[in-house]
Amino acid sequence: MVGAKAVTSSSTSPRLAQQHSGVSSVILSPPFYQVSCCGPVSCTCCRHSRWPPLTESPCSRLFYILLHVGASAVCCLLLSRTVVERVWGKARGIQMPSGLCAHLFGHSHCPVLSGSGAVYRVCAGTATFHLLQAVLLVHLHSPTSLRAQLHNSFWVLKLLFLLGLCAVAFCIPDEHLFPVWHYIGICGGFTFILLQLVLITAFAHSWNKNWQTGAAQDCRWFLAVLLTTLGFYSMAGVAAVLLFRHYTHPAGCLLNKMLLSLHLCFCGLLSFLSIAPCIRLKQPRSGLLQASIISCYIMYLTFSALSSRPPESVILQGQNHTLCLPGLSKMEPEIPNASLAVLSAGIMYACVLFACNEASYLAEVFGPLWMVKVYSYEFQTPSLCFCCLESVEPEKGQRGGTARPADQDTSPALPAQAQQLSYSYSAFHFVFFLASLYVMVTLTNWFSYEGAELEKTFTMGSWATFWVKVASCWACVLLYLGLLLAPLCWSPTQEPQPPPIVRQHCCIISPDNKHPI
């Protein structure tokens, strides 16, 4: 990925860089190389010499993703009743040693080191870790700033600090942690869901605008739009058929049938409005491609909701049967499907990582109001880069057409491109803060966190999780409807003007010299 920083070396430290023809290169001495992961040298110095070069920002982002994945995996292990019983041999969870508990709290009732309490404490540590960095890195615009080293360096120290925060969280008694942290987690989880909805609708609009621009100039782009649209509608149709087959039953599941029928009507309504003449009059590039993407996302949210609801029990042929879950059309006893649980969890976490990375990129491109500006952006040239998550949105060269102020500690010797961030460090950590809260409440069944177990989270489900996901699906429909209908209230003089194009990911085109950079 080509970033806004034209840096080809393994570090951007001014004390180690030498300028050659406008490109910064780095010469590392052995002492700095040996302690680079502990000191103020970027993480790219930790790579082996035979590995391909990796710029500083993607390397740092990868490290933070691995930290978040590791913390989420630890939460899953501590929430799993099977793991706790087999590893520690204790069915009621892991207890703190009585002597340590009496020394810390003055009584023998210690916090349990497993279950929902452990998930709350681990996520409290990770959320605090990212929130502190988000506050410290606010209004940072230069990768060569001293504050930028806090994001790109000191990896061992930051890992120890993260472990320390989690350890401190385990020392907080339940009665002091759960009442407040539970509501903070609920608010953060809902905020992250709204952020995901904004990103997926922005992704659909941007992809459609980009390829419709090419379809107006070349029939090959029109063919690409047609095939992609048919592909997304085919996936949505297949998903609807599978959901009706596996999550409904002739003897029951009325709620599932009504929900599936309603969501299919939503998909048809959004598709019709996307090509309605009154909509296309205000948005000429509105089309079925964006509606097909939203339809697929609606079907995913429907699958996630139906797989999260408790089963329904009825008496059929003198036997008690559990309905409304996969595998029951053959009148067999219900067995939780681990493959569906893994699929649901995998898609959910992929959406989490997409939101964390894309939101930080758009925040740097469009500024604080990126959630509004991203929808009004107009493209001049089409690009196949929209198949990559990192290149969904184009980048605006300067916010408001003016030069971005650099921090006072920015090195003036570096070229202009090297003094710009490829994504907002502060927004990156703030979204990871919200993601930690979202993972926490999702694993612990949102409002009913008492007695939560990993074996039941993605298989048996709860009504609280079910209605949260149904509400998120309806919110997605309302957001997309608002984006389609809002321009009808604008006058022609209020239509936004497209900003200048500067692409920073694949196939970047400079408006000055017309060649890739």
Write the pLDDT tens digit of every residue in 340-397.
777 777 888 888 888 888 888 888 777 777 777 777 776 767 776 654 434 334 444 4
Averaged over 327-348, what is the pLDDT? 62
User: What integer pLDDT is reported at residue 109 of this predicted model?
Assistant: 62
| d(C-alpha 30, C-alpha 44), whole Å | 15
Give residue 89's pLDDT. Answer: 61
The structure tokens listed for 425 are 């460090």
**Overall average pLDDT of the 167-186 stretch:** 83
pLDDT given at position 56: 61
Find the mean pLDDT for residues 306-333.
67
Exposure letters 81-101 (e unless 16+ CB within 10 A, then b): beebeeeeeeeebebbeeeeb
Average pLDDT estimate for 474-493 = 81
What per-residue confidence (pLDDT) applies to 406?
A: 39
Exposure pattern of 470-502 as b/e (b: 16+ CB <10 Å)?
bebbeebbebbeebbeebeeeeeeeeeeebebb
Planar angle of CA 465, 346, 479, nearest 5 degrees: 55
Strand ranges inside 308-393, DSSP E: 312-316, 319-323
Would you state the pLDDT for residue 163?
93
Report percent pLDDT > 70 for the chain.
67
Query: How high is the pLDDT of residue 227?
Result: 93
pLDDT tens column, 239-259: 999 999 888 888 778 899 999
**pTM (2 d.p.):** 0.76
Rounded distance between C-alpha atoms, residue 125 and residue 169, angstroms:
6
- Tens of pLDDT, residues 31-58: 443 344 555 555 544 444 444 444 566 7
pLDDT of 90 strictly over 70: no
Interatomic CA distance for residues 181 and 174, integer angstroms: 10
Q: Is the pLDDT of residue 412 over 70?
A: no
Q: Which residue has the higher pLDDT, 122 or 416?
A: 122
Q: For residues 2-18, give the mean pLDDT.
A: 38
Residue range 139-146: mean pLDDT, rounded: 83
Q: What is the mean pLDDT of residues 62-85?
A: 87
Name the range with the highest mean pLDDT among 41-55, 293-307, 415-429, 455-469.
293-307
Residues 155-168: what's their mean pLDDT? 92
Give the pLDDT score at 364.
78
- Distance separating alpha carbons of residues 504 and 43, to the nearest angstrom: 22
Length in residues, the chain: 517
Structure-token pair, residue 436: 């930690």
Q: What is the pLDDT of residue 11?
A: 40
**Judging by DSSP bridges, how do beta strands 501-502 and 319-323 pair with one another?**
unpaired
Mean pLDDT of the chain: 74
Q: Is the pLDDT confidence value at 122 over 70?
A: yes
Res 86: pLDDT:
76
